């Protein structure tokens, strides 16, 4: 981003003798520190003696200040949890938008890039982070890994998207800046975050919806200012959002714990018992349940789905190997697998259908139709097709149809307009006028 605007800001330099005890005020203070050209730690983003060429200076400054911002939210997460840190980060970006429109998205993308680079570093085997010098393996410092990653992935970097790069020494310079930035930031950020007495989501006046909300947050999103719901249900607070995100986060955490236990059981097998079928079938059923829970939970859980699928593939590989001399049973197994995949694809076709199947569904029975009508026409089309395909769900579809028309008539009579509602009713089918 262009840092010239921020460096011209005339906000009084905040003191460090008394840090705010409230999250929202702390975020305002952090933004003020970023805006000032002469306020630590952002004022000393480049390491002493380091000078960049003009085409590298701006991305280097973005890398370093973005890393310092990411540090603040990592320190915050250590004290208040990752869900609270994400809400705080959203609020910070909304505050930045108030100063300069669209700046919040730029800062959010910058922090997200820093997060991805750290995660990539943690996931890289140590031997791939090392080089041999004088016969000894020397591990590259984390800052060097982050510097090269940023120079290759930041859109405004002159090295962006290249596969083979001579960084002309800028990778080493930037790594020095990142190390210096850490030394400058942590002595300020730790007491600053420590001064925040407790995270209270009610202190945050606004929030941003998650890009991939979990089941609980998704229903809040449907209800918010939506005339299809009763007036009192249209009110959603930042505290509601925080509590929903905590529940969604815990749901995925529970699935990860169960998956880890299943993996321990599976990899602990030394040989199959003579009566192997109950064992493998039990593992398969538990993995299938876990996958269904993942679909119900929603959120950013693709990697978790991949891990479940990988373990299930290993179970089925052993199952198929055990049946390699029995063509009939092998064919029966493959047919059952195909039926299972097709049925799941239908019954879990949309968020609405997934959430209805949960025993702890966030959608109360009286809000099922309002939730359905809150989806896009494309999602409703998929839901209707799935309901029509299952004979035992035909009555559910009929009930949704009749109630939808009554609900829409009431909402229209109250003077509200509903986007795409005629198209949605047409997709639902009969009784449409």
Domain ranges of the chain: 4-203, 215-353, 360-428
> Under a CB-based contact definition with an 8 Å cutoff, are residues 224 and 216 in contact?
no
Q: How far apart are CA 368 and CA 359, in angstroms?
A: 14
Looking at residue 89, its pLDDT comes to 97
| pLDDT above 70: residue 8 | no
> Under a CB-based contact definition with an 8 Å cutoff, are residues 402 and 409 in contact?
no
State the Cα angle at 384 between 382 and 390, rounded to 5°. 105
- Rounded to the nearest 10 degrees, how much is the dihedral formed by the CA atoms of 25, 29, 35, 39? 180
- Where is pLDDT greater, at 92 or 396? 92
Q: How far is CA 395 from CA 9, 21, 350, in A?
A: 63, 55, 19
User: Which of 32-41, 109-118, 402-411 bottoms out in mean pLDDT, i.e. has the lowest?
Assistant: 32-41
**Which element (helix H / strand E) includes 139?**
strand 136-139
Q: How far apart are CA 264 and CA 253, in angstroms?
A: 17
| pLDDT above 90: residue 423 | yes
Mean pLDDT value of segment 262-286:
94
Among the listed residues 70, 75, 74, the one whose alpha carbon sits nearest the alpha carbon of residue 34: 70
Share of the chain above pLDDT 70, in %: 94
Among the listed residues 285, 87, 283, 115, the one whose alpha carbon sits nearest the alpha carbon of residue 199: 87
Q: How far apart are CA 105 and CA 120, in angstroms?
A: 22
Encode pLDDT of 168-178 as tens digits: 999 999 999 99
Cβ within 8 Å of residue 303, ≥6 positions away: none
Mean pLDDT value of segment 41-51:
91
Q: Give residue 151's pLDDT band: very low, low, confident or very high (50, 70, 90).
A: very high
Looking at residue 430, its pLDDT comes to 62
Looking at residue 432, its pLDDT comes to 44
Helical packing angle, 377-389 and 421-428, nearest 10°: 10
User: Which of 131-145, 259-273, 303-317, 394-408 bottoms out in mean pLDDT, i.e. has the lowest?
Assistant: 131-145
Encode pLDDT of 56-90 as tens digits: 999 999 999 999 999 999 999 999 999 999 999 99
| pLDDT above 50: residue 433 | no
* Partners of 298 in beta bridges: 214
Q: How far apart are CA 93 and CA 108, in angstroms?
A: 6
> Under a CB-based contact definition with an 8 Å cutoff, are residues 1 and 107 in contact?
yes
Nearest 5°: phi and psi at 124? Answer: -85, 125
* Number of alpha helices (DSSP H) and beta strands (DSSP E) in the chain: 17, 2
Q: What is the DSSP letter of 146?
A: H
Looking at residue 133, its pLDDT comes to 67
Share of the chain above pLDDT 90, in %: 79
Encode pLDDT of 298-328 as tens digits: 999 999 999 999 999 999 999 999 998 899 9
Encode pLDDT of 211-259 as tens digits: 999 999 999 999 999 999 999 999 999 999 999 999 999 999 999 999 9
Looking at residue 7, its pLDDT comes to 58
- Where is pLDDT greater, at 408 or 9? 408
Looking at residue 181, its pLDDT comes to 93
User: Is the CA virtual torsion 202, 204, 205, 208 positive or negative?
Assistant: negative
Among the listed residues 116, 89, 114, 117, the one whose alpha carbon sits nearest the alpha carbon of residue 104: 89
Q: How far apart are CA 149 and CA 417, in angstroms?
A: 48
């Amino acid at each position: 981003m262009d840092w010239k605007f921020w460096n011209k800001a005339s906000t009084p330099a905040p003191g460090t003798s008394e840090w705010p005890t409230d999250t929202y005020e702390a975020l305002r203070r952090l933004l003020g520190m970023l805006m000032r050209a002469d306020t630590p730690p952002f004022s000393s983003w480049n390491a002493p003696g380091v000078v960049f060429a003009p085409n590298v200076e701006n991305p280097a400054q973005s890398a370093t200040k973005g890393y310092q911002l990411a540090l603040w939210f990592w320190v915050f997460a250590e004290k208040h949890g990752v869900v609270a840190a994400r809400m705080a980060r959203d609020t910070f970006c909304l505050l930045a938008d108030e100063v300069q429109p669209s700046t919040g998205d730029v800062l959010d993308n910058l922090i997200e890039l820093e997060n991805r680079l750290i995660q990539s570093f943690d996931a890289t085997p140590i031997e791939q982070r090392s080089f041999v010098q004088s016969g000894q393996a020397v591990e590259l410092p984390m800052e060097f890994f982050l510097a090269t990653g940023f120079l290759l992935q930041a859109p405004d970097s002159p090295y962006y998207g290249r596969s083979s790069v001579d960084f002309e020494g800028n990778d080493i310079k930037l790594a020095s800046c990142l190390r210096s930035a850490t030394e400058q930031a942590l002595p300020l950020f730790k007491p600053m975050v420590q001064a925040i007495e407790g995270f209270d989501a009610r202190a945050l006046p606004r929030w941003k919806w998650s890009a991939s909300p979990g089941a609980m947050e998704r229903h809040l999103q449907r209800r918010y200012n939506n005339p299809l719901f009763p007036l009192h249900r249209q009110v959603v607070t930042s505290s509601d959002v925080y509590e929903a995100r905590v529940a969604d986060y815990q749901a995925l955490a529970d699935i990860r714990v169960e998956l880890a236990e299943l993996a321990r059981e599976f990899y602990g097998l030394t040989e199959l018992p003579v009566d192997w079928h109950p064992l493998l079938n039990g593992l398969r059923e538990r993995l299938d349940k876990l996958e269904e829970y993942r679909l119900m939970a929603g959120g950013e859980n693709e990697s978790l789905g991949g891990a479940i699928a990988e373990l299930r593939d290993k179970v089925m590989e052993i199952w198929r190997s055990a049946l390699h001399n029995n063509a009939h049973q092998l064919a029966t197994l493959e047919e059952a697998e195909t039926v299972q995949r097709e049925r799941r694809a239908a019954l879990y076709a949309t968020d609405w259908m997934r959430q209805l199947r949960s025993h702890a569904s966030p959608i109360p029975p009286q809000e099922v139709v309002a939730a359905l009508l809150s989806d896009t026409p494309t999602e409703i089309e998929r839901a209707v097709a799935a309901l029509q395909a299952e004979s035992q769900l035909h009555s559910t579809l009929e009930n949704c149809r009749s109630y939808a028309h009554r609900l829409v008539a009431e909402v229209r009579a109250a003077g509200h307009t509903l986007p795409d509602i005629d198209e949605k009713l047409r997709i639902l089918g009969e009784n449409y006028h």
